[in-house]
Amino acid sequence: MAFNLIETVQGLFNNELVRKAASQFGESEGGIQKSLGATIPAVLTGLLQKAGSSDGASEILNMAKQALGSGVLSNLGGLLGSQGSGSSSPAINLAKGLLGDKLNSITNLIASYGGIKNTSAASLVNLAAPAAMGAVGKYASDNGLGVAGVGSFLATQKDSILKAIPSGFNIAGALGLGSLGEIGSKLSSMVSDAGGKMIGSAGAQAEKLGPKMKWLLPVLLIILAIAFILYLIRGCGGNKVETVPMQDTTTMAPAVAPPAGAATGARESTKVKLPSGTELDAFKGGVEDQLVNFLNDPNAKAGRDVWFDFDELNFETGSATITTESQNQVRNIAAILKPFPK
């Protein structure tokens, strides 16, 4: 599956971290959860805006390396204890470096949207910024990306990030933009300029080789053009991954292979019994069966690598409309979640 930046950052904020933040900030868990739903895409949108110039992309790469080196991805909760450490805190400096003079307006917008204090909103931004930069740093390190590569990567993440912005959350205004479309234009321009500089530099070097070596120019141009195109293509799958909204629970079940017989359509029907005594029609080994077994298991533990796969959920071609045949599984999942509110 192609890398999805916003899902990766959202995955760092599990229920335990939300509870810890709510307790420390003196807020409700619901208020923190709602505010994070705006904070994470807001920070990443600021990241996209900053990446719209070659200087900005260079700064992002440096900050990303700094965040990754700090170990934030494995100890995000540890930043909660540094929220009151003053303006010299690395987390606060990262947020300022990323959002600049728009930091206060974004913080105020988050506080208003989530119904939390401005100080709480500021603390969430100071958590989200290092988390976002650490995720970018890890991807850049794993894939050997430089400044141009980071810009190209962020361009492939633009759509999923902007789609995650909550309705009515005017992040464009907080960033001083007329519309979010300006971000896409700047990113595209930066990526194109980076590619032009790569090819132009190659041409200049070939000219220095002298008339006898000018046959290298077209060869170098072709090689560099192909390399730049691969930069763009490598992350394009990210636009095809739908953003998964932040959930109120991290309780999920282990990924499993499709039930035996699924490929041929020969699936065994079963009854899934809920605590209330209600029985649901489902398939043996299907998502309903797995989910109820997991929730009823006192030894089962939730985790980031534990999840469920909807095995009967389909959409009408070219739309987000769930097919009639899939509605039964949606209703079943809703029925299962009601007796298990946690």
Give tens-digit pLDDT for 92-141. Answer: 788 888 898 999 999 999 999 999 999 999 999 999 999 999 999 999 99
pLDDT number for residue 275: 86
C-alpha to C-alpha distance for 100 and 43, rounded to whole angstroms:
11
Residue 72 Rama label (left phi>0; alpha psi -120 to 50; beta): alpha
pLDDT-based confidence at residue 232 (cuts at 50, 70, 90): low
pLDDT number for residue 253: 45
Q: Give residue limits of the domains in the chain.
A: 5-240, 262-337
pLDDT number for residue 249: 44
pLDDT-based confidence at residue 251 (cuts at 50, 70, 90): very low
Mean pLDDT on 50-72:
86
Q: Which helix (H) or strand (E) holds 33?
A: helix 29-50
pLDDT number for residue 179: 81
CA-based torsion, 205, 211, 213, 216: positive or negative: positive
Asked whether the beta carbons of 118 and 107 are under 8 A apart, the reply is yes
C-alpha to C-alpha distance for 17 and 94, rounded to whole angstroms:
20
| Higher-confidence position of 281 and 85 | 281
pLDDT number for residue 54: 66
pLDDT number for residue 37: 95
Our measurement of the distance from residue 144's CA atom to the centroid of its chain's CA atoms, rounded to an integer in Å, reads 20
pLDDT number for residue 261: 42
pLDDT-based confidence at residue 8 (cuts at 50, 70, 90): very high
Residues 6 or more apart in contact with residue 114 via CB below 8 angstroms:
31, 32, 34, 35, 38, 121
Q: Is residue 185 pLDDT above 70, yes or no? A: no
Residues 130, 136, 139, CA angle at the centre, nearest 5°?
140
As to burial, measured by CB atoms within 10 angstroms (0-12 exposed, 13-18 middle, 19+ buried), residue 288 is: buried
Q: Has this prediction a pTM greater than 0.85? A: no
Give the tens place of pLDDT for each residue, 274-326: 888 888 888 888 889 888 888 988 888 887 778 888 888 888 888 888 888 88
Share of the chain above pLDDT 70, in %: 73
| Higher-confidence position of 36 and 242 | 36
- Cα separations (Å) of 219 from 34, 203, 245? 54, 10, 47
Asked whether the beta carbons of 158 and 187 are under 8 A apart, the reply is yes
Q: Round the average pLDDT of the chain to a whole number and report it.
A: 79
Two structure tokens written together for 255: 């990924």
Q: Is residue 220 pLDDT above 50, yes or no? A: yes
As to burial, measured by CB atoms within 10 angstroms (0-12 exposed, 13-18 middle, 19+ buried), residue 69 is: exposed
pLDDT number for residue 278: 87
As to burial, measured by CB atoms within 10 angstroms (0-12 exposed, 13-18 middle, 19+ buried), residue 243 is: middle
C-alpha to C-alpha distance for 279 and 53, rounded to whole angstroms:
58
In DSSP terms, 273 is beta-bridged to 279
